[in-house]
Amino acid sequence: MTTWTEQQHFLNEDHHNIFEKTKDIPGWQEPGDSYKLYEMGYRSGDVILEIGTYGGRSAVVELEGALANPDRSIKPQYFGIDLDINGVLRTADTLEKFNLTDYCLLFHGTLNSFAKEFSIQPTMVFVDADHRYEGVKSDLLLLKDYLVAGTPILCHDYANPENETGEMGVRQAVNEFIREGYAEFVGTFGCSAFLLTTNQCGGVARPRLSEQEFAGCKADVLSKIGQSTYKRNTALDSSKPSNPKPDAAIGQDLQQVKTELEQAQFRIQQVKTELEQAQSRIQAMESSKFWKIRLAWFKVKKMFGVLEKNKNGFIK
């Protein structure tokens, strides 16, 4: 069984260098956050769940840790969730640059929507999404039904001073989670709280997804999000040579334009969906009793020749 301590020890040279190696990826990590995430990945990184990926900085740290453990005989599976499509796209780009795409499934949405689609058994969790009290509380309450006892959770920004001003509610939500008996507090690392779940959590141990199942889930997620959005970022076929680097001849500007184009395509798709929803709402309104009575009223008025128009030209 893994012994987690309040002191941070370095497992290897790579662990020592991980902050330096990842510090230029967009994101907000203190050295202590990165060191703990690497250690979590190393020791418990079979099935990594991260809520809030932003630019993939923590994802790289966790996966580098998981891949560095010589005793790990299976490929780590990383599940990253972000509510913002730009967060998903940025993370996909970063993972590609670090040749890590093959291990990753990126989900556009919340933990709530993710949990409705996937029954995974995370072996470690990084909570770094909505930092308001209600957001963290809701993520932790969902996690308690998901996780088995002894699962390490790192909650980012627990030690951030903005918890005192009310800007953030991480500390309050985490402290309540501990008080309610779902986790034990091990210590703070960087600005994160490190917890271990207790047997009050209701997760049921289940086997990891097979490589085929994992690839299948990735394909499902991709088809939902719209393949054109980030097909270049996510290898569907694991037999493909993993993550070829972008052609050196393609300049950074061109890459940027491509990303923006893909984001715009995704937004157009979103607007189309919203338009369809609005149209079906109008149809539902028109078939409602009120609408039918209104039309009948106009007919009666027309019969008696009293139909008038308002100043905008609409029939009153």
Please give the residue ranges that form the binding site for ligand SAM (CB under 6 A): 27-29, 51-55, 57-58, 81-84, 87, 110, 128-130, 135
d(CA 130, CA 139): 9
Query: In sequence order, what DSSP letters do the residues of 216-253 get, joined into one string?
Result: HHHHHHHHHH-HHHHGGGS-S-TTSPS-PPPPTTS-HH
Least distance from ligand SAM to the Cβ atom of residue 138, Å: 8
d(CA 162, CA 60): 26
d(CA 222, CA 214): 12
Of 215 and 234, which has the nearer Cβ to ligand SAM?
234
DSSP 127: E
Least distance from ligand SAM to the Cβ atom of residue 108, Å: 9
Least distance from ligand SAM to the Cβ atom of residue 40, Å: 13
Of 81 and 221, which has the nearer Cβ to ligand SAM?
81
Least distance from ligand SAM to the Cβ atom of residue 97, Å: 14
* β-pairing verdict for 104-108 and 77-82: parallel
Of 42 and 54, which has the nearer Cβ to ligand SAM?
54
CA distances to 128, 151, 168, 313, 315 from 154, in Å: 8, 10, 16, 61, 61
Of 52 and 76, which has the nearer Cβ to ligand SAM?
52
Least distance from ligand SAM to the Cβ atom of residue 110, Å: 4
d(CA 13, CA 164): 37
Of 25 and 215, which has the nearer Cβ to ligand SAM?
25
Query: Which amino acid type is present at position 93?
Result: D
Of 53 and 151, which has the nearer Cβ to ligand SAM?
53
CA distances to 5, 29, 297 from 58, in Å: 21, 8, 63
* β-pairing verdict for 124-127 and 77-82: unpaired
Of 82 and 262, which has the nearer Cβ to ligand SAM?
82
Tokens linked to 154: 């790192």
Answer yes or no: are the C-beta atoms of 68 and 14 closer than 8 Å.
yes
Of 26 and 251, which has the nearer Cβ to ligand SAM?
26
Least distance from ligand SAM to the Cβ atom of residue 114, Å: 9
Least distance from ligand SAM to the Cβ atom of residue 173, Å: 13
* β-pairing verdict for 47-51 and 77-82: parallel
Least distance from ligand SAM to the Cβ atom of residue 316, Å: 46
